[in-house]
Amino acid sequence: MTYRAVRPARFLARPNRFLALVELEGKEETVHVKNTGRCRELLLPDRTVYLEESRNPNRKTRFDLIAVDKDGLLINMDAQAPNQVFSEWARAGHFREDLTLLRPETTWGSSRFDFYWEDSHGRRGFVEVKGCTLEEQGLAMFPDAPTLRGVRHLRELARAQQEGYLNTVCIVLQMKGCHLFCPNERTHPEFGQALREAAQAGVQVLAVDCRATPDRLEIDEHVPVSLVMREP
């Protein structure tokens, strides 16, 4: 996926989870943050961030904050990007070569999964995509804050697996340079337990990294997965 009219700015502060204050071309600007997560390790004063200009002239904020330079590591922060890049990657044949259907936003049970798929052999399944922006010394972790919704999705994937669906949770690392992914059990132990239970039920746990530039994001390579918390 690509962005248009991207500009660098200097991060100043985040008054709430939706807005940030930045310095753009010598002037203070209020911008929309396209990620409502905590991102405390990312949005630090004086870091370079990247903004995309909105195409909607009626918006209160002119720009969206989409990426940050974390000490030389560019991390895409757009919470909507993981689903888009997964869709592009899957439709290009990298998820399943024999894919015949990839449908977004499909409800099963009490959950609405990110994608439902079918292939030419009559197989079918669901994919839940999680965007990962938390990195410590090359170790990628999810979540960066407790996620009851994420736990529920994992348990629903496990139940659907028992009914014959072939399911996947895909962790999209919105950066390059990570050597391993693991659940962040320091922040949310229940997520790690739910991830292991889903894997034991047969759910595929997949992690992929991305080539990230200020104006582009695309899935690149598979990253090894640990189902237990590791230290950097």
Domains, the chain, in order of start with CATH, read: 6-76 (2.40.50.580), 81-222 (3.40.1350.60)
Token duo for residue 182: 């693991």
User: What per-residue confidence (pLDDT) applies to 57?
Assistant: 83
34, 4, 31: which is closest to 15 by C-alpha?
31
pLDDT, residue 37, reads 84
pLDDT score for 38: 83
* Cross-strand pairs, 133: none
> pTM above 0.85?
yes
Q: Any residues with CB less than 8 A from the CB of 207 and at least 6 apart, and which?
A: 132, 140, 170, 171, 173, 181, 222, 223, 224, 225
- pLDDT band for position 155 (50/70/90)? very high
pLDDT of residue 143 exceeding 90, the answer is yes
